[in-house]
Each structure stands twice: as C-alpha cells, then as structure tokens.
Amino acid sequence: MPDEWSLRRLLGLGAAGSAPASASAADRPTPPIDVQALVDRIDDPVLVIDARKRVELANRAARDFLGLHIVGEDVRLAIRHPAASALLGSDSAGAAVQTIDLVGFGQGDRRWELRLEPMGERRVVRLIDRTEARAAERMRVDFVANASHELRTPLTTLLGFIETLEGPAADDEQARRRFLGIMRAEGERMKQLIDELMSLSRIEAEKHSAPTAAVDLVALARDVGSGLSLQLESGGRQLVIDSAADVPAVAGDHGQLQQLLSNLIANAIKYGRKDTPITVRIRPSGEAVQLSVEDEGEGIPPEHLPRLTERFYRVDPGRSRALGGTGLGLAIVKHIAERHRGRLEISSVVGKGTRVMVTLPAMPGNQ
C-alpha cells in the first residue's frame, strides 16, 4: 500500500508540495490532476470521508449506487446499514484497514464487502460486490454435499447386501442371485456418477479453449441414434432426424458433442411417453446451427425450468433415480454448449412435452 503522502498526492488531498524530505526529485509533487475524473474510472463505489464523517468525494459508481445527494452528507446516511454505521461512526479506526460484510444491502440478495482505509485525517471507503464469489462458494459447498450424498446412497446399499450375504443369506442361493443383481445395479450407478463427475471436470478444465474441428451434426445424430437403438426399441420409440439439406459443419469437439446428443436423447427416452417419436431437428441459422431434441411427454412445470442445468437438480428425485438418472445430464450439456461458445434453451409445455435447443457456431467459411 502506498504511504500517506503518495495517497494524498494521488487523490489531490493535503498541502500542495508537501513531499517527504527523503523523496527524490522524481518523487516530488506533479502538477494537479483531475481527482474526480481519476476516481470515476474505478468500477467499485469509492467514498472519501472527512474527520466529521461527511462524504467529501464520491466516484461515479458510488453516486450511481447510493444517489447523487451523498456528497456532503453524513456517510452513515449515505450507506444505510447497521454494520456500516457502527464501523463508520467509530472514532477509533486506528491505522489498519478494516473490512466487514454487508448482507441485505442494496437491491436483491446481494453481498458486499466494505473496506475502510485510514488516510491521515480522512478515510477511504470502498464497496466491493462479493455476490458472485459467495454464490460460487455456495455452489461448491452444495456440489460436494450432493456428490457425497449421491455416492453414499448406493455405497450404503452395497455394504448392507454384502453384510447380509456374509451372514443370514450366506447359504440362500435365491437371495444371493437377487442381491447380486441389485449390487451390480448399484455399482453401475456409482460408476456412472463417477464417470459423469470426471467428464464434467474435464469439460470445465477445457472451457477456455474453444474446439476447432469440423463436426457434421446430422451424421453424429444418426450415429448416436444407432447406439441408443435398444433403448428406443424397448419403449416402442422412433428417432426422427429432421434436418435441412444445407446444414454446415460446426466447430466442435466430436466426443463432447456426441455426449451432448446422447444425454439429450437419453433424457427424451426416459421422460417421454412410450410409443411416441423423439425428434431431432437440425437447421442452419445465420452463422450458427440450431440442434433441438423434442419429446412428447408429461412436460416440465415452468418453475423448474431455470434450475434444470444445476448439478443434481431433479424435478422428481424419486422418479429420476428409478430411471437411472444422476442429475448431471443437463449440467454436462450446458457446459459443453458453453465450451463450444453456444447457447442452450429449454422450453416445455406440461402435458405435451419438452424441447431442448442448442445453438452452435458454424465452421468459418461453411455458412
């Protein structure tokens, strides 16, 4: 942190020309600068308050956030929050930087950090929006808790059946066969969950490098449909690929786009009605390609739509687990779309069905 004289010179405060005796010629005061223009370039709200606790200077971000009237006003009236008032009203600020969290300050459920820095007889107040950082931390904590829960459930089942097979059912051939079948299913469930967690981790690690290989989405949709043919047939389903004649290749990662399509079609198989078609539509759209997967099923109530891409979020947890869902499918689809610099949209009508559309950039020169 610069010394007090440097801060005074930077902000244009204090006696003109009062440089420390030890300062070299290069460090001596420079011609006056436009302090207001300087602080207006700072994105965070910044206030300078005087010894009477009045706002002496406020940058543009502070005026926009707190109001134009704050200059000249008591800072406790400018920042109306109990924790802020207690800190800013204290006369024992000392020489150290102090920070506090402001919860419920401003519009919405936002979290702010207030930093109070002494500067001679004045003090500098800076408000830093920590909402996104706190939300990311909360998501991380929730993710660890949810992943632990999802793994613990099948693991507990496995251990319970192993204990039974080692004890009461050791000589019961019928029970052994039944329990081994359940154990295999639970083991496969754990493997699928771990595979999807690792896949999600890899996709996130690569999100800053956009893929550049040419991928034919029409051919890819046919390949994915062939791979899911047994699941389609078991429900009397038919995969309809409705594509335009002039669909350009997209710039993509073949493996990830295959996973995206597999997840979307598998979801349509799980949640659509039996003996109804699943339609994959592929159309050029300007410099992009639109890929949509549509089912005819129960649909999704509108209040659930904004949360569908959250990790482990399920509209009906019991039904999803019974159908083998991990709650990560649409989260993976969302991250693949983002890595490809694409856009994901989900629409649904209760009683009719759901459409998931992904818009992906076309290969340059192929539009």
Low-confidence ranges of the chain (pLDDT < 50): 1-23, 25
Model-level pTM?
0.59
User: What per-residue confidence (pLDDT) applies to 96?
Assistant: 78
> Which amino acid is present at 47?
L
User: What per-residue confidence (pLDDT) applies to 334?
Assistant: 93
Residues in a beta bridge with 242: 281
Rounded to 5 degrees, what are φ and ψ at 127?
-105, 125
User: What per-residue confidence (pLDDT) applies to 254?
Assistant: 94
Q: Which two tokens stand for residue 102?
A: 């402001």
Burial 109-148 (b: 16+ CB within 10 A, else e): ebbbbbebbbbeebbbbbbebeeeebeeeeeeeebeebbe
Q: Which domains does the chain have, with CATH numbers?
A: 34-129 (3.30.450.20), 131-205 (1.10.287.130), 211-367 (3.30.565.10)
User: What per-residue confidence (pLDDT) applies to 4?
Assistant: 43
User: What per-residue confidence (pLDDT) applies to 153?
Assistant: 79
User: What per-residue confidence (pLDDT) applies to 256?
Assistant: 93
Report which secondary-structure segment, H or E, holds 277: strand 277-285
The residues, ordered by sequence, that sit 6+ positions from 319 with a Cβ below 8 Å of its Cβ are none
CA distances, 174 to each of 159, 162, 165, 171, 180 (Å): 19, 15, 11, 9, 10
> What letter would DSSP give residue 353?
E
Q: Which of 183, 147, 362, 348 is nearest to 267 (CA)?
A: 348
Mean pLDDT of the chain: 82
